[in-house]
Structure 1
Amino acid sequence: MKHERRDSNRDFDHGSGHLMLISPERVFYAGLLGRPRGRTTGSLMIYVSIEGRLKLTQNGRCDEGLTIATVRPNVPHTIESEFRSVINVTIEPETVTPAALEQLIQRVSDDGPTLVERIRGAYHQWRLEKRRGGFTTQEFDSILLGEVLPRRPLDARIVAAIARLNVFSGPAVTAADCADAINLSQSRFLHLFKQETGISFRAYRAHKRARHLLHFVNDDINLAHLAQDIGYPDSTHFCHSIRRFYGLKPRAIFSGSRDLRIYRSDASDGAQLVTA
């Protein structure tokens, strides 16, 4: 059953301050964190406190008293906050050169307070705006990071496969589908995909499938139908995958996102982000 996503850029109560900007390459989320549990995503994660301090546990190490923290892609971690809400900036690693990602991680370590001020400033401006979506990756990076991250060069055939995986509603995309579309054998395609992106096709698809959930989190929707619509074989796989990626059950995510305003990069009105 295909779910028709409604326009979620309705007039929410701005008092909650909960909002999300989402594109295939980036996510900015400011909202409820939920109970701290382990999570593992395929993205580079930058957490920024809205108020109070953060506590990050990863690789057997616990860091407390933080206002900003980074987690590399595919690293299990737990994030806790003294405040109920948190800011999370998500960067898809296949869209940025590995060297640039490393430099950004180092920059957080070396110049964290400046980035905190910049990211919080953008958030406080966006929460007051009545606007629709429409933004580019370059605008997103410039406003939040003060620089445009250099793009990772990818084989055009892998770019085409990624575009198929970034469609957030519809039948599950298989390696065979992608290989056939670009006239490669499946084994050759799988090798090329990992060589270009640094991650296996299966792990990449699992990450993108869980990420697609974000497009629907403020919808009133049957979760079993949603699981099918974004490519999961059944509700059990859906629940297990979402809990692994986000540390929360799907129902908890939806419950905490009822007043979340969502702005997408695919808006037809061509609105632009403004600098904070």
Structure 2
Amino acid sequence: MSSKPQRYQGDYVAWTGGCMFIGSGGGPVAPHAHYAIQLVIGAPSGLQVQSGHRGQLMPCQGALVPSRAVHSIDVSSCDWTAVVFIEPETQAGRALSARMGGQVELLGDEALASVPNQLEQAWRMTRTVEAVQDVAQALVSSLSRTVPHVPSDPRVLMAIEHLRAHRGEAPSLEELAAVVHLSASRFRHVFVEQTGMPLRTYQLWRRLLKAWEILMEGDNLANAAHAAGFADSAHLSRTCRTMFGLAPSAMQMKGPLSERLRAPSSYLG
């Protein structure tokens, strides 16, 4: 087992409707709740999860935590951990919510199988965002029994491209509907159908993704917040706490992915 840093440090990987923190270090986390559904893995062992304010810490390899459920985790004895957050309004999020029935679910070998080994290989050896992303999304799909859905309606794709072109801004529902020549009500329906979440939630995910991408590149919190359209670093931190239960300052971007991202192009080969 490799030596762990005392402070949690690692990498951030995101996709539409979900994201993941993967790293080493850290210890007990006080009981808290947040908006996103949480899937946590502790490897190779040592994870403990508590349900509620006064529940007992239970050893497990992984756990699923419902949206807004009070819980605590202790990763002191783990070599590394992966914490996946799933937007509750996505197809996978709704399926996981139904599976859990409002209760924390502990996961063992039968549910996780070889995923921890695959994830560690993708993170520490392959060292690409895409490889880590593939393993994480496959696990979410397996647990939720859903298939990852990529928007295919050209009107929604056009709207998403418009959002990307105006990064840092927040076009209204009416503005985007006009861009794709639909009424606001019809566009709202098509957008949710294609992406699995309302426009405002999708915009927030995109802004958070952008902020963490900038932090992965080594920039500071203030610049990341400004570039992603947050009022300031405090606004970004508050939003992260609400969505994920932690602020960006709680994690040092010093994992294999961020190190490779910052390396000279000659190293990247």
TM range (shorter): 0.5 to 0.7
* 2:22 paired with 1:30: yes
Give the letter aligned to residue 167 of structure 2.
G
Task: Tell me which of 146, 166, 169 is aligned to 1:172.
Answer: 169
Q: CA RMSD in A?
A: 4.4
> Is residue 39–residue 243 contact of structure 1 (8 Å, CA) maintained in 2?
no
Kindly indicate whether the alpha-carbon contact (under 8 Å) linking 1:49 and 1:86 is maintained by their aligned counterparts in 2: yes
Query: Structure 1: how far apart are the matches of 2:65 and 2:169?
Result: 28
Q: Residue deviations 1:168-196, cap 9 Å, x none?
A: 99322322442222122335434554566
Q: Is the 8 A contact 1:46 1:89 kept in 2?
A: yes
Alignment of 1:116-265 (within 5 A): 116-129=112-125, 131-135=127-131, 141-142=137-138, 149-152=146-149, 156=153, 157-162=155-160, 167=164, 170-175=167-172, 176-194=174-192, 199-253=197-251, 256-259=252-255, 261-262=257-258
Q: Is 1:49 matched with 2:47?
A: no
Taking a change above 3 Å as real, the CA distance of residues 119 and 153 of structure 1, as seen in their structure-2 partners, is closer
Looking at structure 2, the residues matched to 155 and 77 of structure 1 have their Cα atoms a distance apart, in angstroms, of: 37
SS at match of 1:233: coil
Whole-angstrom CA distance in 2 between matches of 1:146 and 1:70:
13
TM-score normalized by the length of structure 2: 0.65
Pair 1:88 & 2:83 matched: yes
* C-alpha separation in 2, matches of 1:160 and 1:63: 49
**Alignment partners' CA distance in 2, 1:111 and 1:52:** 13
Higher RCO (CA-CA < 8 Å; seq separation 6+): 1
2:68 maps to which residue? 75
Of Structure 1 and Structure 2, the greater helix share is in 2
Tell me, yes or no, if the aligned pair for 1:53 and 1:81 is still in contact at 8 Å. Answer: yes
What amino acid sits opposite 1:118 in the alignment? S
For these two proteins, the number of residue pairs brought into alignment is 246
User: For 2:213, what is the secondary structure of its paired residue?
Assistant: helix
Q: Distance in 2 between matches of 1:89 and 1:149?
A: 16
Mapped contact 2:11–2:216 kept (Cα < 8 A): no
Aligned-partner residue type, residue 120 of structure 2? H
Unpaired runs of 5+ residues, structure 2, are 262-269
Cα–Cα, structure 1 residues 251 and 172, in superposed 2: closer, same or farther, change >3 Å? same
The answer for unaligned runs of 5 or more in structure 1 is 1-13, 265-276
Q: 1:77 to 1:257 in 2, by over 3 A?
A: farther
Alignment partners' CA distance in 2, 1:77 and 1:111 = 18
Q: If the length of structure 1 is used for normalisation, what is the TM-score? A: 0.64
Q: Is the 8 A contact 2:152 2:194 kept in 1?
A: yes
Opposite residue 40 of structure 1, the aligned amino acid is H
Task: Quote the Cα distance in structure 1 between the aligned partners of 2:132 and 2:81.
Answer: 23
Letter in 2 for 1:172: E
Letter in 2 for 1:217: L
Paired residue type of 1:67: Q
In structure 2, distance between residues paired with 1:116 and 1:75 = 23
CA distance in 1 between partners of 2:132 and 2:40 (Å): 21
Is the Cα–Cα contact under 8 Å of residues 97 and 153 in structure 1 kept in the other structure?
Answer: no
Letter in 2 for 1:180: A
- Residue identity over aligned pairs, in percent, reads 20
d(CA) in 2 for partners of 1:94, 1:244 = 16
Asked if residue 113 in structure 1 is aligned to residue 109 in structure 2, the reply is: yes
User: Does the CA-based 8 Å contact 1:48-1:69 persist in structure 2?
Assistant: yes
